[in-house]
Amino acid sequence: MNSIEIRCDEEIEDAPRKERSLEDMFQSVSPMFCPSRRVWKPQMDIFETREKIIIHAEIAGVKKSDILIEVSSKAVKISGKRKSIKPPKNKSATYRLAEIQFGDFERVLYLPTVVDAKSILANFSNGFLEIKMEKSQDSGG
């Protein structure tokens, strides 16, 4: 698949909340402590014009085919996966700094106004995802 998958649903659900394990707490300190499942939250901006809601997401290193956008009239869920960069196979190599997060990500953004879920345009370029949505005629915008 060479495009971004966009789904329109009536409702968007957050991932179920779970209690934080000791591993989860250390993960927020340093990814080096958590070689197993890593979850990261990419930086995002959301703003609006008179006609549109626009979201920018910084997701460098993610393939288009690994991005899923789910949209309802009131929320947007952006999820996907960034695969890890393998360190050199040289056994004498040692990490001195490890800040780049990888693995699954998911963000649910609640919109400031109702949007027309069928008007979505998504563009992914240079590590930035841009989503443009027309405001619903019923939103008074």
Q: Which CATH code is given to the segment(s) 5-12+22-84+101-139?
A: 2.60.40.790
DSSP state of 45: E
pTM here is 0.74
3 state SS of 33: helix
Tell me the CA end-to-end span of the chain in Å, nearest whole number. Answer: 35
Between 17 and 58, name the one with better pLDDT: 58
| Phi/psi at 65 (5° precision) | -70, -10
Q: Tell me how crowded residue 115 is: count the other CB atoms within 10 A of its CB.
A: 25
Q: How confident is the model at residue 37 (pLDDT cuts 50, 70, 90)?
A: low
Average pLDDT of the residues of the chain: 81
pLDDT, tens digit (0-9, with 9 covering 90-100), for 60-81: 999 999 999 999 888 999 999 9
Distance of CA 83 to the CA centre of its chain: 14
